[in-house]
Amino acid sequence: MQTLLRSKPQNKTVQHKVKYRLGQLGTKFLGAVPACKQANLPRDYNFDAHVFHPQFASTHYGIMIPDLPEPYRYLSYASVIGDVGAKITKVCPTLCPHTPANTATLVHGTALSDAKEAYRIYSIEEQLQFQQSPFRIDFAEDSSLYEQDGTYRLVSNLEDLKVDLTLTPTDALTWFAHSQIYQHFSVLMRYTGTITQQGHTVEVSGLCTLEHWKAIAVSMLPERFLSRHLTLPLNSFTYQVINLDDESQLVLAFVGAFGQPAYTAVSYRHVDGTSIQYDDAFFEVVALKTESMMTPDGHAMEVPQSFRWVVHHQGEKVLELLAVVDTPYCYGLAAGYVSSYQWTGEFKGQKAEGRGYLEFIDRR
């Protein structure tokens, strides 16, 4: 059994300390954004795919809704287009006939979906279509995400899931990474539309997030460097979204490298354009599910039953929550899972509770 994931490093041995230092240097090299730099970063952005920028080789688009009505609970639309080559993103060759540079994955579902319905693998060259201006991406005949008159539309036509959503951007923008080799951001959005699943249609509205990255990838290396076998040591990850109310949202992230914590960040956003990255965030898994999840490539992944966050800003505690995962894990988020949880705790001194969206990968 692996040690429980937490954002406090293990420092018992010299090896622990070296691996922690390497992870910190690696995330700094990639351009991971600390709280002190968030407010000074550009407020403009674009959703260009990497195919329009030769210095990049990977793209991500994500739409996450954490609090759909029962029984849907959440909506996940998360793609990795062009494998980065990290442990947390790599697609096993036994699952995919395409080269890493030509591989796209998409997990798209709700709490009613399983991996057979929600997880899809595509050939970028043969099944995806890109448009730069106005922005558009099509995943075969399955789904389209595109810009329309200042809004964004997600239209999906899967066998058991039909989605028709209009997303309206706010001015609240969060950068996770900002460098010449990796640009990753999230925009707070309002959404309205319909979701149809298992023969039932529901009208939905609320807050979501629309996310994007452009990044370099191992596949850019010459073949003589054995890029197909080289793997970046990013080996654990969680990303979460919580809507505090109908106007404000939290996005919470943790990344591990070399088996040690490498990056932890929690940001608050409001529809009025406020976006604050808190300067001290702690994450830890409290308990694991009794049985590991077996991934399609044969990896036994231990996944959380419960976890907690404790967040301070400028010396004051702003958030403490305990989360309990109450929804089946669905494979397909890169090399891991999506799910949903209930949480209770305090936000800025007031008792609070709600539902959260969860992405989780542990490939240590």
Residues 6+ apart with CB under 8 A from 195: 68, 72, 75, 110, 161, 162, 163, 165, 201, 202, 204
Residue 229 is predicted with a pLDDT of: 67
Residue 246 is predicted with a pLDDT of: 98
Residue 225 is predicted with a pLDDT of: 64
Cα-based angle 258, 262, 268 (whole degrees, multiple of 5): 150
How many Cβ atoms are within 10 Å of 1's Cβ, its own excluded? 6
Tens of pLDDT along 270-317?
999 999 999 999 999 999 999 999 999 999 999 999 999 999 999 999
CB 212 within 8 A of CB 185: yes
CB 354 within 8 A of CB 340: no
Residue 224 is predicted with a pLDDT of: 66
Burial string for 65-74 (b: 16+ CB within 10 Å, else e) reads bbbbeeebbb
Six token digits for residue 147: 């810009």
Residue 257 is predicted with a pLDDT of: 97
Measured CA to CA, the distance from residue 196 to residue 46 in angstroms comes to: 30
Residue 304 is predicted with a pLDDT of: 98
pLDDT of the chain along its 364 residues, tens only? Answer: 678 999 999 988 999 999 999 999 999 999 999 999 999 999 999 999 999 999 999 999 999 999 999 999 999 999 999 999 999 998 877 788 899 999 999 999 999 999 999 999 999 999 999 999 999 999 999 999 999 999 999 999 999 999 999 999 999 999 999 999 999 999 999 999 999 999 999 999 999 999 999 999 998 988 766 555 678 999 999 999 999 999 999 999 999 999 999 999 999 999 999 999 999 999 999 999 999 999 999 999 999 999 999 999 999 999 999 999 999 999 999 999 999 999 999 999 999 999 999 999 999 9
Residues in the chain: 364
